[in-house]
Amino acid sequence: MGSWENGAVTRPHAAIAQPVSGSAPTLHHVMVVGGTVAEWADMQLEDWEKRVDELGSYCASIGVPWLTVRVYRDEDETQLTVTPAGRHDVGGCCVTVDQHGDGRRRFAEAMNALDPTAEITEATVNAALYGAAVSEPDLLVVLGPPTKLPASLVWELAYAELVFIPVAWSDFGAGELAAAVVDFAGRRRRFGGLDDE
């Protein structure tokens, strides 16, 4: 495992799947949404280091520059003390760990932080919400049933391709993320549009 100095993990793992290529849709930003705050709090720092290292290394191996990992919901009062929230460089992939489980509150706080004298555009909203990532997610991997969307998502649902994976947060790793990427590669992106047929 790589070292965690100043929140950065630098040693990449071996690739689990080959990069998406050919006529597959472009993949720049992946977001994984899973687990409750209580489940995140149960993880030790060493487990977090391994998880971020594994997922970030996989994304780096297929050329994805941004990965965001976000809690599914925060309905309880559990406090996170060891989660490596913030940004981590993993072999060229910027991994952002976001423990904020209320998407409406996150959106409101991001809008309040914008310069009131500047023009508000999609780009400024994206910058406020995603920080280092220059765009909204292309692929949104949700650990949960396809019948319910996480409360931590609002803005991200506009253009992202959603892949639902019925696995627990504790069981999610690069293999499951690779399966979601394969699913994404077989899709024809419509960016919020409808099929003509």
Position 7 scores a pLDDT of 34
In a domain, 24, yes or no: no
In a domain, 161, yes or no: yes
- DSSP characters for 42-72? TS-HHHHHHHHHHHHHHHHHTT--EEEEE-S
pLDDT above 90 (res 195)? no
In a domain, 23, yes or no: no
The average confidence (pLDDT) of the chain is 77
In a domain, 170, yes or no: yes
Percent of the chain with pLDDT over 70: 74
Position 91 scores a pLDDT of 92
The number of domains in the chain is 1
Query: With contact defined as beta carbons under 8 Å apart, do 142 and 150 qualify?
Result: yes
29 token code pair: 């930003």
Average pLDDT on 49-54 reads 93
State the CATH number of the domain containing residue 171: 3.40.1180.10
In a domain, 17, yes or no: no
**Domain boundaries, position 59:** 29-185
In a domain, 191, yes or no: no
Mind listing the pLDDT tens digit for each residue in 111-147? 888 888 888 887 787 777 776 676 788 899 999 888 8
In a domain, 104, yes or no: yes
In a domain, 168, yes or no: yes
Task: Name the pTM for this structure.
Answer: 0.77
Q: Are strands 139-143 and 29-33 parallel, antiparallel or unpaired?
A: parallel
Q: Please tell me which of 48-57, 135-144, 155-164 the model is most confident about, judged by mean pLDDT.
A: 48-57
Higher pLDDT, 88 or 25: 88
